[in-house]
């Protein structure tokens, strides 16, 4: 019988994902490639949104009520180097919390599917 456990459940639900997101933003805010995008951002609100978004992306409940990815990133003119930096930090945050590479690949594939909605807006 196939394992139907979602990555969201496997990783421990929203509580664990919130810790991953906190660590992820520590990495992002320390990275001069991308940290300027967050200079005027309410990071507490951002962390909550991102936790709900990543929870949903990993198969958890859809509690994400934010704007579309394209709309949120309009005017930022994000380039591949920025997207790749964010993906690397997400990889490192997941790995930091003991997530295996195959599960990280699955999660990053889902994030990667948003690339066209985020770049060059």
**CATH classification code of 10-118:** 1.10.490.10
Residue partners of 64: CB distance under 8 A and separation at least 6: 49, 52, 53, 55, 56
Domain ranges within the chain, ordered by starting residue = 10-118
Cα–Cα distance measured from residue 65 to residue 17, given in angstroms and rounded to the nearest whole number = 17
Segment 5-15 shows an average pLDDT of 91
More confident: 61 or 67: 61
Consult the annotation and say whether 96 binds a ligand. no
Q: Which two tokens stand for residue 15?
A: 């509580």
- pTM assigned to the model: 0.90
* Residue 50, burial from CB neighbour count under 10 angstroms (0-12, 13-18, 19+): buried
Is residue 75 within 8 Å of 54, Cβ to Cβ? no
Segment 77-106 shows an average pLDDT of 95
Consult the annotation and say whether 36 binds a ligand. no
pLDDT score, position 3: 65
Residue partners of 79: CB distance under 8 A and separation at least 6: 119, 120
pLDDT score, position 64: 72
pLDDT score, position 19: 96
* Whether residue 84 has pLDDT greater than 70: yes
């Amino acid at each position: 019988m196939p394992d139907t456990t979602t990555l969201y459940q496997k990783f421990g639900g929203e509580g664990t994902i919130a810790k991953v997101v906190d660590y992820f933003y520590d990495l992002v805010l320390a990275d001069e490639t991308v940290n300027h995008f967050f200079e005027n951002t309410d990071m507490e609100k951002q962390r909550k949104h991102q936790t709900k978004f990543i929870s949903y992306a990993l198969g958890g409940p859809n509690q994400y009520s934010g704007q579309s990815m394209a709309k949120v990133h309009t005017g930022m003119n994000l380039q591949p180097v920025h997207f790749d930096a964010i993906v690397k930090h997400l990889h490192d945050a997941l790995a930091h919390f003991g997530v295996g590479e195959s599960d990280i690949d699955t999660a990053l594939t889902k994030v990667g599917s948003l690339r066209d909605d985020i770049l060059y807006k």
